[in-house]
Amino acid sequence: MQDFLLYLKLGWEHIISTDALDHQFFVLALAAVYSYNDFKKLLILVTAFTIGHSITLILSVLDVFRISSKWVEFLIPTTILITSFDNILMKNHQKNLVKINYWLALFFGLIHGMGFANTARMMLAKEQSIFFPLLGFNIGLELGQIVMVLGILILLFVLLNIFKINRENWIMFVSSGVFALSLKMVLERIP
């Protein structure tokens, strides 16, 4: 149980800490095109990300494959860049964008899962069962994402209903900002 709680905390911090800006930008880019009425759809979306993240994390920890951390650190902001750019390109086709985002979240979750794999591989002893630590990590990750999504949707509700911000302007503002910041990360991390 102690391992489970330790990894639950690590999963939570993997999303919520100040060192997790790349994950936070990704969730923000994914969530930017949804509204507070789409809460269930958005939960499915972040769960798709967690599933992809979990699959890669498990395969990496089991040493099925390894990818250079330099490439992983480059690919993670690249996924954010693509997601935010897709929001900008598809701003007038939101129904199609919502469908595409499920696949992006799942596929890009696979890439993001490699980001923690080296750390997890070192932390888990060979004789230790990886089930509970990885379960704890992924539950912590999912909880962190849900809290982020709730925060984004509350902010969006306030901006749309109290400050009367135009929804399309919100999408463009958030997506453009995330695009610029992720482009900077991509350029800094070219292997």
Question: For 71-84, how does the pLDDT look when each residue is reduced to its tens digit (9 = 90+)?
Answer: 999 999 999 999 99
Token representation of residue 147: 């809290």
- Average pLDDT of the segment spanning 79-91: 91
From residue 56, give the alpha-carbon distance in Å to each of 65, 68, 160, 169: 9, 14, 37, 35
pLDDT of 126 > 80? The answer is no
- What is the reported pTM? 0.89
Within 8 A by CB and 6+ apart from 108, the residues are 26, 49, 52, 79, 82, 83
Nearest Cα neighbor of 25 from 80, 75, 78 is 80
Question: For 134-178, how does the pLDDT look when each residue is reduced to its tens digit (9 = 90+)?
Answer: 899 999 999 999 999 999 999 999 999 999 999 889 999 999 999
Domain ranges of the chain: 2-188
Comparing 49-53, 98-102, 169-173, the range with the smallest average pLDDT is: 98-102
